[in-house]
A and B are shown apart, each in its own frame.
Chain A
């Protein structure tokens, strides 16, 4: 019940879709492949399923080298982004398909197939729809049928390609929680692809962040969120403010801020980038001297318990986004056009710089 991917590379012409990626998925684990479009996450998933074959590297399924095995032989469950239900078959026939195409000696009897399909329909809570055709179902229902169909062949691995990508926000949220509960119930190693960091962080046991075909970081949601390996991961996992500045003889100068460099490794003089999330921006009415940036409040977005502020650094004219509690917002009596002092409570800098 495991997947091991070793140094996999896949090119399409001159384009390298997956570049020397290695990762492991243990039994019963739910892994998210997270990345922007074109990052190679779907290609990686399709290679694990046997729908695409790597140019180099190997894939081990349940400790057996499956690199050259075709899709039918790998016995994985695959859920497609657009469901890929067989449109000319009923829901029942869709789920039964995987059972019916087995070689005769392994095939279940008719009544066993019926029991199995009904059991799966019960699992996805769509018993009443067995005689319907896919186009009579809603997107969320189709996705559940696609899942039931994938589970029918009792796969040892479940792969899902942007499973909630085509659904609206509310159904999406419901369905991903349901998937998490379902996964805890059936407990098979699963990999799902997503470009939605919220989804990945909420549902997965571990998250693998991909960019330009390379694996940037892999770890639990907590690990990647709290200790991003580089600027890309940091930037991809949430909203971010960028501070352009300079490093000069061990001191970091960003706008009007001036502080001691905190890196353990010596830093080369030159330009630098500091990153801070909107909720890591402190706002005060009083200047904190060399620790703060003088900014003007341009816009206030005040719906909900948190208030989003759009500020502009008066010195550099850079935009700063801040998110504060409503109570604090009221306390500060902020109005549009006010001049305030801003300081990031946690300014991160990464040694290797990314252009975002």
Chain B
């Protein structure tokens, strides 16, 4: 009985699965699949983008409509990120530190945007703020434009990226517990001091991880934004929408040039994510 686990482990090294004729085809299959589905498309974006040379590439990006799309994307994702950062922190704090009625409901609701199709998310805002929507008449009376304008795009982006920071923080803060924070309070720290000296340094990597995921998603969001934007060139077009318009106009070089920017964001996101994972992984080992 006691020696059993040892025998299993020794046998493990000569397991059938380790035979080369099983191992290599599996690796080959996985790599081929990845090449075809992930690497080739990504590479094609950059190849197509530079197909007509540097000049066309730069022109496509320097185009006023493209620049306006970049600005709008950065504005919308910047606001969405800030809001969801604050909300994520507040929600994670409330859920990991207090017990209250409706806590489980809140945890489930945070995941809602992940379950809802982005198009539906966009339609929700049309139903609320559209001319025939619940608040449509009132908004129209007061001359407030939400749909087909920047506020609508920001709202849709916030909705879609809502869960990322909170979902990252909640399990982490729950696992970490409150003892260190209590220790800081007993030692005479003010609640703010406790937050900035103890809480924030402890959660910084999960927070950054959540922020990275959130911003990548915010910049890339298409469906929800497409519904509320109205596709007004130079005004309510975000980068993904701009790509679609260019593509539909058979302006492939320009479409891929702008798409390459978004792909670059994705690659950078992946790299940063990897760095964070390595860092936190190493910390985890030591602790």
> Would you call A51 an interface residue if the criterion is a C-beta within 8 Å of the partner chain's C-beta atoms?
yes
Q: Which residue on chain A has the smallest CB distance to residue B187?
A: A98
Q: Is the CB of B197 within 8 A of A71?
A: no
> Would you call B105 an interface residue if the criterion is a C-beta within 8 Å of the partner chain's C-beta atoms?
no
Which chain B positions have C-beta within 8 A of A135? 286-287
Contact of A84 (CB < 8 Å), options: B182, B188, B201, B286: B182
Question: A98 vs B190: C-alpha distance in the bound complex, in angstroms?
Answer: 11
Q: Is the CB of B287 within 8 A of A78?
A: no
Minimum Cβ distance to chain B for residue A116 (Å): 14
> Would you call A75 an interface residue if the criterion is a C-beta within 8 Å of the partner chain's C-beta atoms?
yes
Contact of A51 (CB < 8 Å), options: B186, B187, B197, B286: B186
> Would you call A330 an interface residue if the criterion is a C-beta within 8 Å of the partner chain's C-beta atoms?
no
Q: Is the CB of B188 within 8 A of A70?
A: no
Question: A149 vs B180: C-alpha distance in the bound complex, in angstroms?
Answer: 12
Q: Which residue on chain A has the smallest CB distance to residue B202?
A: A88
Question: A272 vs B124: C-alpha distance in the bound complex, in angstroms?
Answer: 73
Contact of A72 (CB < 8 Å), options: B185, B197, B286: B185
Question: A275 vs B185: C-alpha distance in the bound complex, in angstroms?
Answer: 46
Known: A82-B179, A86-B183, A97-B184. A72 touches B190 (CB 8 A): yes
Contact of B188 (CB < 8 Å), options: A49, A51, A82, A153: A153
Which chain B positions have C-beta within 8 A of A98? 187-188
Which chain B positions have C-beta within 8 A of A85? 180, 183
Q: Is the CB of B179 within 8 A of A101?
A: no
Which chain A positions have C-beta within 8 A of B201? 88
Q: Is the CB of A101 within 8 A of B188?
A: yes
Contact of A101 (CB < 8 Å), options: B180, B189, B202: B189
**CB-defined interface of B185-213 with A at 8 Å, one 1/0 digit per residue?**
11111100100011001100000000000
Q: Is the CB of A72 within 8 A of B188?
A: yes
Which chain A positions have C-beta within 8 A of B179? 80, 82, 84
Question: A85 vs B193: C-alpha distance in the bound complex, in angstroms?
Answer: 16
With A78-B186, A80-B183 known, 15 other A-B pairs at CB within 8 A are A51-B185, A71-B186, A72-B187, A76-B186, A78-B182, A82-B179, A86-B180, A86-B183, A86-B197, A87-B202, A97-B197, A101-B187, A101-B197, A153-B187, A153-B188
14 A–B contact pairs at CB < 8 A? A72-B187, A72-B188, A74-B186, A80-B182, A85-B183, A86-B180, A86-B184, A86-B197, A87-B202, A97-B187, A101-B184, A101-B189, A101-B190, A153-B188
Which chain A positions have C-beta within 8 A of B193? 101
Most buried by A among B189, B201, B202: B189
Q: Which residue on chain A has the smallest CB distance to residue B200?
A: A88
Interface size on B, residues (CB 8 A): 18
Q: Chain B residues in contact with chain A, CB under 8 A? A: 179-180, 182-190, 193, 197-198, 201-202, 286-287
Q: Is the CB of B287 within 8 A of A71?
A: no
> Would you call A102 an interface residue if the criterion is a C-beta within 8 Å of the partner chain's C-beta atoms?
yes
Question: A78 vs B184: C-alpha distance in the bound complex, in angstroms?
Answer: 10
Which chain B positions have C-beta within 8 A of A150? 186-187
Minimum Cβ distance to chain B for residue A71 (Å): 4
Q: Chain A residues in contact with chain B, CB under 8 A? A: 49-51, 70-72, 74-78, 80, 82, 84-88, 97-98, 101-102, 135, 149-150, 152-153
Which chain B positions have C-beta within 8 A of A51? 182, 185-186
Q: Is the CB of A70 within 8 A of B185?
A: yes
Which chain B positions have C-beta within 8 A of A77? 186
Question: A77 vs B287: C-alpha distance in the bound complex, in angstroms?
Answer: 25
Q: Is the CB of B187 within 8 A of A84?
A: no
Question: A209 vs B252: C-alpha distance in the bound complex, in angstroms?
Answer: 81
Minimum Cβ distance to chain B for residue A160 (Å): 12
Which chain B positions have C-beta within 8 A of A76? 186
Minimum Cβ distance to chain B for residue A15 (Å): 13
Which chain A positions have C-beta within 8 A of B183? 78, 80, 84-86, 149
Question: A149 vs B186: C-alpha distance in the bound complex, in angstroms?
Answer: 11
Minimum Cβ distance to chain A for residue B197 (Å): 7
Most buried by A among B180, B183, B190, B287: B183
Contact of A71 (CB < 8 Å), options: B180, B185, B202, B286: B185
Question: A76 vs B185: C-alpha distance in the bound complex, in angstroms?
Answer: 11
Known: A101-B193, A135-B286. A87 touches B180 (CB 8 A): yes
Question: A153 vs B186: C-alpha distance in the bound complex, in angstroms?
Answer: 10
Known: A86-B198, A135-B286, A135-B287. A75 touches B188 (CB 8 A): yes
Minimum Cβ distance to chain B for residue A137 (Å): 12
Most buried by B among A101, A150, A153: A101
Which chain B positions have C-beta within 8 A of A50? 186
Q: Which residue on chain A has the smallest CB distance to residue B182?
A: A51
Contact of B187 (CB < 8 Å), options: A70, A87, A88, A149: A149
Minimum Cβ distance to chain B for residue A46 (Å): 8
Which chain B positions have C-beta within 8 A of A102? 188
